[in-house]
Amino acid sequence: MATALKFAQPEERVSNFVSRTHKMLINGKWVEALSGKTFPTYNPATGEVLARVAEGDKADIDLAVKAARAAFETGPWSKLTASERGRLIWKIADLIEENLEEFAELETLDNGKPLKVARAADVPLAVDLFRYMAGWTTKIEGNTIPLSVPYTPGAKYLAYTLREPVGVVGQIIPWNFPLLMAAWKLGPALATGCTVVLKPAEQTPLSCLRLGELIQQAGIPDGVVNIVPGYGETAGAALAAHPGVDKIAFTGSTEVGKIILQAAAGNLKKVSLELGGKSPNVVLGDVDLDAAIAGSASAIFFNHGQCCCAGSRLYVENGIFDKVVEGVAARAEKIKVGSGMEASTDMGPLVSEEQLNRVCSYLESGLSEGAKAVTGGARQGDKGYFVKPTVLVNTNEKMKVVREEIFGPVVTVIPFKDTEDLVTQANNSVYGLAAGIWTRDIQKAHRLATQLRAGTVWINCYNIFDAALPFGGYKQSGWGREMGHDALEMYTEVKAVCAAL
């Protein structure tokens, strides 16, 4: 009880930060929106206004892009050595780590996720990402290339490639892991020497704004990172369309990803997209049942199912179908749903009323089409945006709950008869972000890993993220990869240099 009380209220420094009227970071200064407008961010556990934040729009984005351009072309950033750049990025990691508790509480207040999740996952993963990317600054290398030019017989050349920063980068991020998504975006951009205009999600701008303060404290020069909170349709759209932006990096829905792509066409800026998913998680008949059940429950219920890679289609081999359904449902029922600030909470509220309504309308659609909720199937309570962890059976592949990304704690469990049937069903999706395989047969597991069309395949585990492991989607789940050294490719241009000797 004592522990529960300790976490029920945020620390004083967190409440003090939250209660400010939040400004935006442009060219190293904290400024109000040119329009003077602000917008509210809500506490999803109560539905009450948590803070007011400067509402950036096209005019503010314009200023931020100009600042980022100047910082890229003539600022001190462009003159730093790779090692100096690395040390500054490492410093950001240290500062986040020093303020781990504060970040965890900000995420919980703004997003709703349990404090213990923010503490164990969101914040340490962000720290690791910055450290990993800090190490890359001194290792971004080109190649030397032997030439055999047929029309200059006898001539000799020295030819090599340089990897140069792509320039001014616009970054638009979602609300499901606010700090971590900012880290995934900023880390490779800074490592490669780009400058940035970042727009956090309207639902969860607070941790990103606090990160902006630490970025300044770390000594990143003015204008290198600009943070403009605001709405997608205004600030986000202006950033995606801006002719002064060289590359846009987006994480969010596939629907908005397509809009970003069109907006980017004006100046053919480079585009990377990390979009939705409807990931198959597969349990084979030979499996360690307890591990597979625990892992499959966590694959969907982690972060309330608000993960682009959530294992939302659970495929189970015929012979063990009932046992797995029963086991996952029993785990769902044990999940303690409540305010993320309480120490005993396993699952907090969904991020917003809009998201609550979306998820509930998917549940209604599935149930009205004949799906059966073994457990859950509805909202929990009438205050805050809580949804009961839900296990659906009796679905078919025409149903929206099987085809579309729900982005909530809802799993559809689907039987399959053999591997061929499984691969056909699992790959029958416009998405291709992730997949899970649970089996004791390691040969079968690796064969299946080659057959599933997904950017990540987890074998006997799920939701394992690492700064070194590339993440991104096949098909309509996106373009490009985040994390790992693959991420650097999305932030660099290759220059070929050829000198006659």
Q: Applying CB under 6 A, which of residues 251, 345, 390, 425 lies at the interface with ligand NAP?
A: 251
| Closest separation in Å from C-beta 353 to ligand NAP | 12
CA distance 123 to 128: 9
**Cβ partners under 8 Å of residue 188, min gap 6:** 133, 136, 482, 487, 488, 490, 491
Closest by CA to 431, choosing from 456, 414, 410, is: 456
Closest by CA to 199, choosing from 166, 167, 224, 175, is: 175
Nearer to ligand NAP, 65 or 287 (CB): 65
Minimal CB distance residue for ligand NAP = 232
One DSSP character per residue, 381-414 reads SSSSS-B--EEEES--TTSHHHHS---SSEEEEE
Restricting to residues 198-217, name those near ligand NAP by CB under 6 A: 199, 201-202
Q: Applying CB under 6 A, which of residues 26, 240, 297, 434 lies at the interface with ligand NAP?
A: 240
Q: Applying CB under 6 A, which of residues 72, 362, 386, 407 lies at the interface with ligand NAP?
A: 407
Closest by CA to 193, choosing from 83, 66, 30, 60, is: 83
256 sits near ligand NAP (criterion: CB under 6 A): yes
Mask for 162-191, x = binds ligand NAP (CB under 6 A):
----------xxxxx---------------
H/E element, 78: none
Catalytic positions are: 274, 308
Q: Of the ranges 140-148, 227-235, 377-385, 410-418, which one interacts with ligand NAP (CB under 6 A)?
A: 227-235
Mask for 29-68, x = binds ligand NAP (CB under 6 A):
----------------------------------------
CA distance 155 to 277: 53
Contact 137, 93 (CB under 8 A): no
Closest by CA to 168, choosing from 240, 260, 265, is: 240
Nearer to ligand NAP, 308 or 387 (CB): 308
The dihedrals phi and psi of 123, each to the nearest 5 degrees, come to: -75, -50
Number of residues located near ligand NAP, criterion CB under 6 A: 28
Q: Of the ranges 102-110, 190-198, 247-255, 311-319, which one interacts with ligand NAP (CB under 6 A)?
A: 247-255
Nearer to ligand NAP, 55 or 342 (CB): 55
Q: Which amino acid type is present at position 360?
A: C
| Closest separation in Å from C-beta 491 to ligand NAP | 19
Restricting to residues 357-376, name those near ligand NAP by CB under 6 A: 358
Residue 56 DSSP SS3: strand
259 sits near ligand NAP (criterion: CB under 6 A): yes
CB atoms within 10 A of CB 152: 11
Mask for 263-292, x = binds ligand NAP (CB under 6 A):
-----------xxx----------------
Beta strands in 344-500 (DSSP E): 372-375, 390-393, 410-416, 431-432, 434-438, 456-459, 474-475, 478-479, 492-500
CA distance 165 to 491: 6
233 sits near ligand NAP (criterion: CB under 6 A): yes
Q: Would strands 270-274 and 478-479 be described as parallel, antiparallel, or unpaired?
A: antiparallel
Nearer to ligand NAP, 95 or 360 (CB): 360
Mask for 295-324, x = binds ligand NAP (CB under 6 A):
-------------x----------------
Query: Which positions touch ligand NAP (CB under 6 A)?
Result: 172-176, 199, 201-202, 231-233, 236-237, 240, 251-253, 256, 259-260, 274-276, 308, 355, 358, 405, 407
